[in-house]
Amino acid sequence: MTLLRLFLEFFKVGLFAFGGGNAAIPFLYELAKNTGWFSALDLTNMIAVSEATPGPVGVNMASYVGYTVSGIPGLIIATFGLVCPSVIIILIISYVLKRYRDNPLVESAFIGLRPASMALISSAFISIVRVTLINEEAYAATKSLGDLFNPALIILAAVIFVLMRKLKLHPLIFIFASAAVGIIFRLGE
């Protein structure tokens, strides 16, 4: 039953995550909330691991979640569920596109789909910020603004962002650098 649910949930993610691997992130947040298979913090860690490993982020995350929930069979079923819709849809689209390549209706639909995908990624970004940089629980307990933000992590994120924009290096370098800074300065404590 769990395997069937894994397949169906990741099939849904694969069906609606337009715009590449990152587009799967908001759907995975929803999945975390609805199923309890993993927490928002687990997902943030998974994204970091997925970014640091070869292959599309969405597929890596499906494999990770599948394995966490149901071992090797879960890994296979979740990954298959995620890629299944795109394989089916691309097969159909490649056939249809030959005939309707310049159809204004198809072009128009993408006018809406592209910004929607961006909005969902932005929404996931807000969730990631809330999980990693803001401590709402501590603020609720003390009502002190100093407890709401984690200045060290905010500075680290800002520095990494600026370096990423300036140096144009591979993201992997920044992930390892951030991990090293986290370990050296014990940012998790």
Partner 1 sequence: MVALVLNSIIKLSKSAIKGKASLIIYLVCLALAVFTPLPAAVVVIAAGAAGVIIGRVSGRARQ
Output 5 or 12, the one with its CB closest to partner 1: 12
User: Residue 134 forms beta bridges with which residues?
Assistant: 149
When asked if residue 8 is in the footprint of partner 1 (CB under 8 A), the reply is: no
96-135: contacts with partner 1 (CB under 8 A) = 104-105, 107-126, 128-129, 132-133
Q: Is 90 in the site for partner 1 (CB under 8 A)?
A: no
**DSSP letter (8 states) at residue 37:** S
Say whether residue 148 binds partner 1 (CB under 8 A): no
Closer of 89 and 116 to partner 1 (Cβ): 116
- Collapsing DSSP to helix, strand or coil, 103 comes out as coil
Which residue reads 């592209």 in tokens?
114
Count of other CB atoms within 10 angstroms of residue 153: 18
**Other Cβ atoms closer than 10 A to 166:** 8
Nearer to partner 1, 55 or 171 (CB): 171
Contact 14/66 with Cβ under 8 angstroms? Answer: no
Per DSSP, the three-state class of 147 is helix
Taking the alpha carbons at both ends of the chain, their separation in whole angstroms is 39
Assess contact for 32 and 43: CB atoms under 8 A.
Answer: yes
Q: How far is the CB of 153 from partner 1 (least distance, A)?
A: 8
Contact string 18-37 vs partner 1 (x = CB under 8 A): xx--x--xxx--x-------
Closest approach of partner 1 to the CB of residue 154, in Å: 9
CA distance 104 to 38: 42
- Binding span for partner 1 by CB under 8 A among 11-19, 73-81, 88-96, 135-143: 11-19
Using CB under 8 A as the criterion, which residues of the chain lie in contact with partner 1 when the complex forms?
12, 15-16, 18-19, 22, 25-27, 30, 44, 47-48, 51, 104-105, 107-126, 128-129, 132-133, 157-158, 160-161, 164-165, 171, 174-175
